[in-house]
Amino acid sequence: MIPNSKSIELKYKTWVQIQTYLTKSDLVIVPIGAIEQHGMSCPLYTDALLAEYFALKVGFDNNVLVSPTIAVGDSLIHLNFPGTISLKPTTLITVIKDYINSLYIGGFRRFLVVNGHGDNYGCILAAFSELGNELSGMRYFVKDFWDFPSFREIMQTEFGDSNGGHADATDASILLAIDDTLVNKELLSNEFAKVSYWISRDLVNELYTKSGVINANQKLASAVIGDKLITEAVNGYSKLLNELTK
């Protein structure tokens, strides 16, 4: 997705190359996403793909290593939709802890976590809370890509209240900007839940969604808007990287 991204991807390096990198920097970018339904128009890999894309773009622009994506997240509520793969929150916390601890043992101390799935956020913070108690000298940011003020301003301006749920026009717009073959435009949906309270998985199709889209109008999506959103997310993450280097 990012030309020449192999130059900053940890998985393509040898341990000797990592050792050399660590003599100059102990900073690494960690993308975390999910494999879950995103309506009838967008791929199961959407959350992981977006987290990975932003991580690689920011890493390449700033010459910072990017670790392999933790692709599976907490997607329990979407398991009624075929293809969704989920970890329990307790499992995800353990996975993140083991993953980050491995990087820490290898010499990394500064972590920028690019999160692409909202339900992961609490698990990530819980994992880092425990890691922060167990490990010394660690610095980190955990940030959802949609949580930068300038990013949210574009979402509100372009989509208004028809955005911000699940599988929304924001996700679809960014996918269109990255590679429009990833989106089946003819199947973009507009669907809002019947209730506002949280429900158990057996009630998802009855009260939340038939298509998989929840509280969003995907039909407002466009690649032009996606490009604007990408710019704001990349700029936001780059500023966080600069903070971590201080």
Q: Is the pLDDT of residue 86 over 80?
A: yes
Task: Tokens 């900007």: give the residue.
Answer: 177
Mean of the per-residue pLDDT values of the chain:
97
Q: Is the pLDDT of residue 232 over 90?
A: yes
- The whole-number pLDDT of residue 1 equals 73
Task: Tokens 């190359």: give the residue.
Answer: 17
* pLDDT band at 36; cut points 50, 70, 90: very high
Task: Tokens 């997310």: give the residue.
Answer: 233
Q: Is the pLDDT of residue 117 over 90?
A: yes
Joined tokens for residue 243: 């903070």
- The whole-number pLDDT of residue 79 equals 98
Q: Is the pLDDT of residue 162 over 80?
A: no
Q: Which residues contact 148 (CB under 8 A, 6 or more apart)?
A: 232, 233, 235, 236
- The whole-number pLDDT of residue 212 equals 98
**Percent of the residues in the chain that have a pLDDT greater than 90, as a whole number:** 96
- The whole-number pLDDT of residue 161 equals 81
Mean local confidence (pLDDT), 89-107: 98
Higher pLDDT, 52 or 246: 52
Note the pLDDT tens digit of each residue in 6-27. Answer: 999 999 999 999 999 999 999 9
- The whole-number pLDDT of residue 145 equals 98
Q: Is the pLDDT of residue 2 over 90?
A: no
- The whole-number pLDDT of residue 229 equals 98
User: Residue 76 CA to chain centroid, in angstroms?
Assistant: 17
Residue 110 domain boundaries: 5-244
CATH number at residue 151: 3.40.50.10310
CB 187 within 8 A of CB 40: yes
The C-alpha atoms of residue 120 and residue 116 are separated, in whole angstroms, by 8
- The whole-number pLDDT of residue 54 equals 98
- The whole-number pLDDT of residue 9 equals 98
Q: Number of folded domains in the chain?
A: 1
- Give which of 194, 228, 192 is closest to 39, Cα–Cα: 192
Joined tokens for residue 205: 């199709």
Radius of gyration of the chain (CA): 18
- The whole-number pLDDT of residue 144 equals 98
Mean local confidence (pLDDT), 201-230: 97
